[in-house]
């Protein structure tokens, strides 16, 4: 992921009202983030516990999305739709996002199951266990990183399109 300035980050949000943009709190340690180890930037708003924020590269441009965590939790152990890790120690929750433009103003949303605190970039970089003799763990890790980027980008692009 390309490094972001505060100005670029704030300008990237496609589904936010002016008031919501003014309320955006930057992630803790923003100035020290290692963007080379991130496939997307995700964080929870410390002032609004059910609000999550994402900035995802889509076709080389950052697309910011404001998320809202569902009130109810999944009844069983859910799998993150982006990193698809089944051995995670962290929670997975349902997030929804207003679509951009008129569609979002009319109440249209899109949802996805994500790691509650956006740990996906770290999860996919863990070396997977040996699945069989001759298993290429490094290739599997690279594939997981690629799939995460595809899923995150597709979600952000879908929010941005509105429809």
Q: If we measure between CA atoms, which residue out of 1, 5, 57, 40 comes closest to residue 26?
A: 5
What's the domain count of the chain?
1
- Would 115 be classed as within a structural domain? yes
Question: What pLDDT, on a 0 to 100 scale, did the predictor assign at position 89?
Answer: 67
Q: What is the pTM of this model?
A: 0.89
pLDDT digits (tens, 9 = 90+) for 118-151: 999 999 999 888 888 989 999 999 999 999 999 9
Range of the domain at 71: 6-161
Residue 42 in any domain: the answer is yes
pLDDT at residue 71, rounded to an integer: 87
Flag residues of the chain having pLDDT under 50. Answer: none
Q: What is the pLDDT of residue 88?
A: 66
Q: Does 1 reside within a domain?
A: no
Is residue 122 a part of any domain in this protein? yes
C-alpha distances out from residue 101 to 49, 107, 125, Å: 25, 10, 35
Q: Using CA of residue 107, residue 113, residue 117, residue 118, what is the dihedral sign?
A: negative
Q: How many CB atoms lie within 10 A of CB 159?
A: 27
pLDDT at 13: 95
C-alpha to C-alpha distance for 137 and 134, rounded to whole angstroms:
9
Looking at residue 85, its pLDDT comes to 79
């Amino acid at each position: 992921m390309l490094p972001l300035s505060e100005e670029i980050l704030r300008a990237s949000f496609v589904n936010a009202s002016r008031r919501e943009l003014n309320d955006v709190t930057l992630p803790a340690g923003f100035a020290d983030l290692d963007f080379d180890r991130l496939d997307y930037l995700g964080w929870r708003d410390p002032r609004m516990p059910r609000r999550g924020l994402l900035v995802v590269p889509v076709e080389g441009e950052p697309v910011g999305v404001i998320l809202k965590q569902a009130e109810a939790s999944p009844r069983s152990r859910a799998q993150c739709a982006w990193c698809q890790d089944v051995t995670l120690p962290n929670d997975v929750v349902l997030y929804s996002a207003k679509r951009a433009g008129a569609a979002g103003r009319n109440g249209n949303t899109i949802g996805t199951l994500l790691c509650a605190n956006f740990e996906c970039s770290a999860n996919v970089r863990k070396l997977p266990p040996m699945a069989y003799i001759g298993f290429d763990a490094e290739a599997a890790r690279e594939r997981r990183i690629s799939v995460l980027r595809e899923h995150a980008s597709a979600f952000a692009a879908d929010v941005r399109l509105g429809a």
